[in-house]
Homo-oligomer: A and B are copies of this chain.
Amino acid sequence: TVGQKTFTNDRIFAPYYVYKGKAAFSAEPIPPKFCKVDSGIRVKRQGFIMMTFSPSVGERKYDWQRKQMFALSPTEVGSLLALGPNGSCDFFHDPAMQTSNAGQVRKSLSIKPSPDGTGYFMSLSVTNNITKTNDRFSVPVTSAEFAVMRTSFSFALPHIMGWDRYSSQPPVFKEENAT
């Protein structure tokens, strides 16, 4: 009954879903990418929390083919965690930033307090100048759902930064005579 720890190396899919009348979103952490360096391994690209929005197409039905995504960086996650009861924040992303297509697609995610002060509105707007489309999703989030996000995003933040790797190393020993 006591054996060795076994783990799956497969990718994990454990999104947190919030389904509401006009749209739904899911949140899911994506780990950082590492590269090898002489003395160990180094974070090459930070992880993020992927927010995916979809429009409602009927009662409890959502069209995930028409999904739009927004990747929250560690500092954007910090912004969400720092949000006070009536605070709000806005993030702007350009998926083609620093390429020749810069400015063609603009994404913005906003978090605003709901009028009754009990929760927030999470809204994603995607303006695509190439396809001449403008998608907008708005999902009301209760204080309970926001508490789940706050707690799970706090848990995930060290992970997407790569800091959880520090705890999975064997203990380091100090030589006897060193000071």
Contact = CB atoms under 8 A, between A and B. Distances in A.
Interface of A: 1-16, 29, 31-37, 39-45, 74-79, 81-82, 89, 142-148, 151-152, 154-159, 161-174, 176
A9 B13 CA distance: 22
A10 B41 contact: yes
Contacts of A4: 4-7
A159 B168 contact: no
List the number of copies, as a whole number. 4
Contacts of A75: 142, 144-145, 148
A159 B56 CA distance: 29
Given A36-B173, A40-B10, A41-B10, A74 B163 contact: no
Given A4-B7, A152-B157, A40 B13 contact: yes
9 contacts: A1-B41, A2-B8, A3-B7, A5-B168, A8-B171, A29-B163, A35-B176, A75-B145, A151-B157
Given A2-B6, A8-B1, A161-B16, A151 B151 contact: no
